[in-house]
Amino acid sequence: MSNEPTPLPPDRVSDCAVFEIVGIDLAEPLFLKNGEKVWIALFTCAVYRAIHLELVRSLSSDSFNLAMRRFIARRGRPKTIYSDNGTNFKGSCNELSELDWNQIQREANLERMSWKFNPPNC
C-alpha cells in the first residue's frame, strides 16, 4: 500500500501571480441591519489560498458582474476561474436558477478569462 499523496491539478501548483487562478463561491445570504438581504462572493486563489470577499446585493447576473468587476479592479484580471456553487445552495435553488450563466460567461470571454464552472443543479 502506497502512502504517496495524490498529485494536485496543474492549476494548483503552477507558478503564477496571486489571484491569477481563482475559485468563486457564494456564501449563504446575510441580513443587514436594515433588513436587506445580501450575499458574499468568495474569491479564492487556487495556488496561494489567499481570499478576497465582495458583497453581492442580489443574485442577478448584473449584480454578480459588478462584484466581479470590483474584484478585477482590486486584484487584477484572473486567467482562469473555477466556479461550483450548486451544492451549497439547495435552499435557494430557485433564486440561483434565475442567474443568467450564459451572460456571465460571455462577460468573461470579453475579458479574455477562461471560466470553468458547473451551473447549479438542484
- Residue keyed to cell 440561483: 96
pLDDT in tens, 56-109: 998 887 788 888 889 989 998 888 888 865 433 333 344 445 566 677 667 666
Q: In this structure, are strands 80-84 and 37-45 parallel, antiparallel, or unpaired?
A: unpaired
Look at residues 75, 54, 68 and name the one whose alpha carbon lies nearest to residue 99: 68
- Write the single-letter amino acid at 85: N
Tell me the domains of the chain and their CATH numbers.
10-117 (3.30.420.10)
Look at residues 113, 120, 97, 90 and name the one whose alpha carbon lies nearest to residue 28: 90
pLDDT in tens, 14-65: 788 999 999 888 888 999 999 999 999 999 999 999 999 999 998 887 788 8
- Residue keyed to cell 503552477: 14
